[in-house]
Amino acid sequence: MVLVAANDKLAAMRKVHLVVCDLFLPADIAAGVCADLRLPALEKMLARGASAGAAPSTGSGRAGDVGASLENYLCELFGVPCQPNGYGKYATPDNEARHARFPDGTTSHSTRLPKDGNQVAGYHPNLPPLAGEGANETLREFHVNAPIAPVSAAFDGLGEGCWLRADPVHLRLQRDQLVLLPDVEVGAGEAAQLCVALNEYFVGQGMEFFTPHPQRWYVRVDRLPDIETVSLMQAAGCNVRGLLPKGAEAASWHRIFNEIQMLLFAHPVNEAREARGELPVNSLWLWGGGCDTLLAKPADCGSSRQAALPALEGSASPCQGGGMNLPPRKTYDCVSSDEVLVEMFAAAAGIPFAGWAGQWRESLQGRVSDPPLRSHMGIGCSSEGRQLLVWTGLHSALRRGDLDAWRAALQEFETGYAQPLWQALRIGEISQLQVDILGGNRVRHLLLTRADAWAFWRRAKPLAQYSMV
């Protein structure tokens, strides 16, 4: 009886999908920053991972240094349809294209091609191997206009409509550049006052502002504008002059952008902030437009973080002008991350979410953040489950320009996650480990099975020798 139970467990073992942002540093600083780091488990994963077989992804390329983002990637993972890609086509994860397959026969993310077959910016069918690496890894490039706002708005408890994120930021003039500083600390009272002023100014113009969270603001519009935007994560620390909305209605939204700046500049809230030595909220960053018909909320939703139920297939979406609706897919049994955006997608797909724990095994306990979710969906990730882990700790350190924090975070990750995951793979506790590394405008895929973990002839090399370019 015990033997039968053990065999059943082996037949349905856990699969883990690990996503790490900004693991590989630029070659000119990598050696110095990575010196003396002890990363035996992580470096073995990188060396022994087998090809996932995926091809480069496509989308609407944007000029400048802004590349792939976590927002874009999460849309792919959860099957959320993306906005027009500049060719009049909607880029969706299931757009008619060839599908790569993993060794176990499952399908990876699709290569998305326009229906007319024309090549779009960022698509490279014969992408060469990365510098300094073997043939084990697969690289993809993608640029899409991710509709984050409706997913985020549902999470924050807002009603129906077409949404844009309108997050509070500070724009700093540095010589001839206007640099965006995110994460401006705004009190709830300050946010409410600025929201009132914005709505009074733009009354009758088909837009209404909301501030359900001090750092997450929104504007609801009568219809989704024909513009392409850049996410806040991508624009942070950059010169915004080349990152403003583009598209058929870009000029109108540049005017709105300027009017918002003038309104905020003269507001008493900002005068008081400057008197206290705090950064004024002198602009809003508009991005992530989409409509909430991507999600259909349950009628008895008791919490803004309660899982949204899928919309009916074939229902029209105002932001798509009709066509098939693609709600977030429930592709995992549990999700854990240090990034609230991941929690938003998990809630939209109806997947239990746990905050980032110090140790991998703690993440399996399922510290679900909201009691309604805990009672509605259960706790934890079973041994048969598929777990998604998304870690942005390295990205956060780089965004602050703190390389010492980057080193410390990576060393903790090695101890808390890489080593226990590697050991679990070696002993067969998990049957498959997929590692996706986001950096620049690309994603590298690695797939490991228990056999790969024992492939000692695939020699590990120092992390500093890996690069995304």
* Phi, psi of 165, deg, nearest 5: -70, 140
Residue 382: what pLDDT? 57
To the nearest 10°, the Cα dihedral for 296, 298, 301, 305?
Answer: -40
Phi, psi for residue 193 in degrees, rounded to 5: -65, -45
Mean pLDDT per block of 10 residues along the chain (469 residues) reads 43 80 92 94 91 39 47 88 46 32 32 29 27 36 70 92 96 92 93 98 96 96 93 90 93 96 96 96 95 52 33 32 53 94 94 94 60 40 80 91 95 96 94 91 88 90 82
Asked if 74 and 341 touch (Cβ cutoff 8 Å), the reply is yes
Residue 145: the pLDDT is: 73
Q: For the chain, which residues make up each domain, given as ranges?
A: 11-80+87-142+326-465, 149-291
Question: What pLDDT, on a 0 to 100 scale, did the predictor assign at position 368?
Answer: 43
Neighbours of 84 (CB within 10 A): 21
Q: HSE-up of 291 (CA within 13 Å, CB side)?
A: 21
What gap in Å lies between CA 243 and CA 286, rounded to an integer?
A: 11
β partners of residue 210 = 218
pLDDT for the residue numbered 127: 25
Contact indicator for 72, 126 with CB cutoff of 8 Å: no
Residue 255: CB partners within 8 Å, gap ≥ 6? none
Phi-psi region of 242 (alpha: psi -120 to 50; beta: other; left: phi over 0): alpha
DSSP state letter for 63: S
Can you tell me which residue has the tokens 């890609």?
Answer: 85
pLDDT at 414: 97
Give the model's pLDDT for residue 380: 56
- Which top CATH class is 11-80+87-142+326-465? alpha beta
Q: Give the pLDDT confidence score for residue 369 in this predicted structure.
A: 46
